[in-house]
Structure 1
Amino acid sequence: MKVACVGGGPAGLYLSILLKRQDPSHAITVHERDPEGSTYGWGVTYWRGLLDTLHEHDPESARALKGHSVCWDEGVAHVRDLSTRHRGDQGFGIGRHRLLEILADRARALGVRVEHEREIGPDQLPDADLVVAADGVRSALRTRHAGHFGTEVTAGRNSYVWLGTTKVFDSFTFAFVETGHGWIWCYGYPFDAGRSTCVVECAPETLTGLGLDRAGEGDGLTLLEKLFATVLDGHRLIGRSAARGSAQWLNFRTLTNRTWYRDNLVLVGDAAHTTHYSIGAGTTLALQDAVALATALREQPTLPQALARYEQERKAALLPTQSAARYSAQWYENLPRYIQLPPERMFALLGQRHSPLLPYVPPQLYYRLDRAAGQLEALRRLKRWLGPKLARTAHGRTLR
């Protein structure tokens, strides 16, 4: 089979790896419009479950990914001058540039042709049995047939900016700062030995009240450094390039599609769907798309059947994640509802922000119900653990 992946992001590269492992005779080319090594962004996050999946499908790239990642298992929240720290799931951060380098090297080693500075327009699709639109949220291939795909885009209320910093956080870090124009907050996580990602978010009235919407790039970064001076420990913030500026405020755009394929053209990754950055799932979902598509192509007898199976499975699998992302975004948009709680309670609800009940239950009551449910579940687990042991003890006494 001849395959053309348009877009050299995680989904397109990992799909090419999996297809080559399944059948080395596949002729696969990855077309990336940007120069090699010029990727935007800082670090990306993923969790232990993804690493296990990658080990199952390609151990070599999984080992390389883990070897270049930073790991943490704690979260810390700073609210005004108070802080609280909790243990949580094992998380990983890796630089986006390093991730793409690992995947591209692995693809080339398997015989995939990776072409940079190769622009593929929607009216000049490659001659291939399968064309994979892995060209991101602004996918030209998808936009050309937006009516067929049923593309819908919804903009979020809050504004955010994606930055880097020379401060290396030791855990996933939240910081909430009160200003005269409302709250502004950041979340940061390390992705290599010398840098971290730092995403800053605020309501639109806070953005305009602080003048961040009008400030020059350098002035905006300087103001943010002052606001988050405590958590940054004097370290600087960095825009999308190594230059002093390049910070751009955006509103997150949630993208969905009614269908994910048209003839031999199929959508993967951000071209097919986006989920709010606050749940840290974008890279994971892109790689899971690649796994599902490769599996469908291997197991189904025809291309139409494979694409239909891929769409069906991934749309179903995405439903809980999309719901979690929607509620997570709404939690931050309604931050004043929770920010006055004691930090440990606010942080507990921050961890529960995916719950569909939280917006409708008073925060203090929800916190008490959540704690009670946790205690009840702990008792249930203890009972399940003690049950066989008590039964064996009683049986032993009967025998005596």
Structure 2
Amino acid sequence: MRLGVAKRDITPWGSVPLAGFASRNGKGFDGIDKRLYVRTFYFERRTETNAVEKALLAIADILFWDSRRVKALQRMIHRTWGIPEEAIILHATHTHSGPSVSYRTIHIGDPVPEYVSFLETETLASVEAAIACAEPVTIERGVGSCDIGVNRRVKIGDAIEIGLNESGIRDQELTVVRFAVEGTNRTKALLTHYACHPTVTNANRVSSEFIGVAMDLLEEQEGGVSGYLQGCCGDINPAVRSDLDTVDSLGRRLADSVRLTLRSGLESVGPAAIRYRRVYVDLPFDRLPAPEQLRDMLTSAQPPEIRAWAERLLDEPDALSPSIPLELGRVDIADGLALLSMSGEMVVEYGLFIKQLSGNKIIPVAYSNGMSGYVTTAKQREEGGYEPIGSTLYFGLPAPFRHDAERMVLHSLSDLIDGQH
């Protein structure tokens, strides 16, 4: 296995709107607390017949990638460097304190085309730099734990609110993958996987949040490039949400958990063929609004976000489609080590399902290759709350997903997991 890595600064200039909190009201940001980066990992393996297998992972400190622009970026990477499009994962750490790059969201930050172009240019530059520094590596993997995330769905009366549900389902497992330059003990790269929303503070300031604090610390102390893989954290928030000091303290706790895992002993991971497969699930919407209903909303005394939502649905020809595709992709990079990417804001149950069914051989990576919206369980759909119901407005979706969406997603996940053992 050969690995190349690169890190490029994608911090915005000027004062563009940040994505993630409607409370910012589309204002430009007030300052920069923690710079944003795209970290890129290029995997390469030469077969016995001298063929070259390739895969790519690019991790950006953004809310999520725009579904429409991802495909063009993947095609460009494929044409330029020959990496199969299905083997390219464009992943987001899901920080709520970076510029928006999605053209579908409503009232959580509008994209600035100049920044979107800048992000894509820097991503391509990072791919080129990563390929240029590829060298043979050995791979080790370890599993630890971290307790900074907690379930956020709380039942208050008959409603589900966002809060701290200490007894709710969460995933405290922390996975660390270390790549060392072959023949040395020098760390080339680290990948850290955990599931927790980076939403400690809603301050209108640029920040890669506790994730950025942790990754920067690990790069300083362990060497190499450290990338964070965001798990299925759709209903998982930080246990403490406060201010910038809390961002720093949680980042240090995450970094400490990673270092403890590294020191507790890692298992060697052997090389294997780089394989990839991609499938799509058409997530069905519940009853769609009629065009006349939407037109009435434009003239009635509705909140501005409701009018913006109705206008968006009327203006876009495909906005009232009966379903939206959820992309699921599996990329195997070593023996018993694979990434399963999902283009949705997946709740924690899906991550636990993937890890259990695969025997912890597959790392669930949400917020990848675009965004289809929150993907919840059928039980959560019945309970209601922000994730299955309220979020549809901000994602520009015409309606919540049907109850049977969970069954469809689990079926396709099972196929991806079982089909390549």
After TM superposition, the score normalised by the length of structure 2 is: 0.27
After TM superposition, the score normalised by the length of structure 1 is: 0.28
The structure richer in strand per residue is 2
